[in-house]
Amino acid sequence: MALDDTDKKLLLFLQEDSKQTTKELSYKLGLSVTAVYERIRKLENTGVISKYVAILDRHKIDRNFIVLCHVKLTQHKKEYVLQFEREIMNLHEVTECFHVSGDYDYILKIAVKDMEDYRNFMLSKLTTLQHIASTHSSFMISEVKNTTAIVL
């Protein structure tokens, strides 16, 4: 789908705050409320906008200990890969999982309360998954940039 400049601006505004009313957006874009509504519906129906979410403050929900965990599988068999991916979907501490190239097969972003909570997660959940050969964990010192916005 080709996006014009107005669509791109609209998407930026929605990424900043998706609770803005069509009236507020119409003022910012210089369009009628109906035109904004129709553009949003088009972007939703074509899948450009896939969903709306609430982004939580990790500090306020006691999940501020962020770990990047690199995982290597024992083998790259299709069944091992698919099983690992199915099982990782059920680990709520894992907020992101990427299948990557390089020395490791996956990078997991994990949000837990503290180091003790991470240790419990490793011992009772992650290391119980089959076909994991090794893991390597890095811990967040400070957050330099964290955004969900994609600039077009």
Q: What pLDDT digit, counting tens, does each position of 8-50 carry? A: 999 999 999 999 999 999 999 999 999 999 999 999 999 999 9
What does the DSSP assignment read for 80-107? Answer: HHHHHHHHHTT-TTEEEEEE-SSS-SEE
Which pLDDT value is given to residue 1? Answer: 77
Which pLDDT value is given to residue 13? Answer: 97
pTM of the model: 0.89
Domain with CATH 1.10.10.10 in the chain: 5-46
CATH topology assigned to domain 65-139: Alpha-Beta Plaits (3.30.70)
Domain with CATH 3.30.70.920 in the chain: 65-139
Helix (H, G, I), strand (E, B) or coil at 58: coil
Q: Thinking of the domain 5-46, which architecture would CATH place it in?
A: Orthogonal Bundle (1.10)
44-46-51 Cα angle (round to 5): 35
User: What residues have CB less than 8 Å from 83, skipping those under 6 apart?
Assistant: 130, 131
CB atoms within 10 A of CB 5: 8
What is the per-residue pLDDT across 73-99, written as a single tens digit (0 to 9) for each?
999 999 999 999 999 999 999 999 999
Q: What CA–CA distance (Å, rounded) separates 41 from 47?
A: 10
What Cα–Cα distance (Å) separates residue 142 from each residue in 48, 62, 67, 84, 126?
A: 32, 16, 11, 29, 24
Inter-axis angle of helices 5-16 and 33-45, nearest 10: 80
- Name the residue among 88, 89, 86, 108 with its Cα closest to residue 98: 108
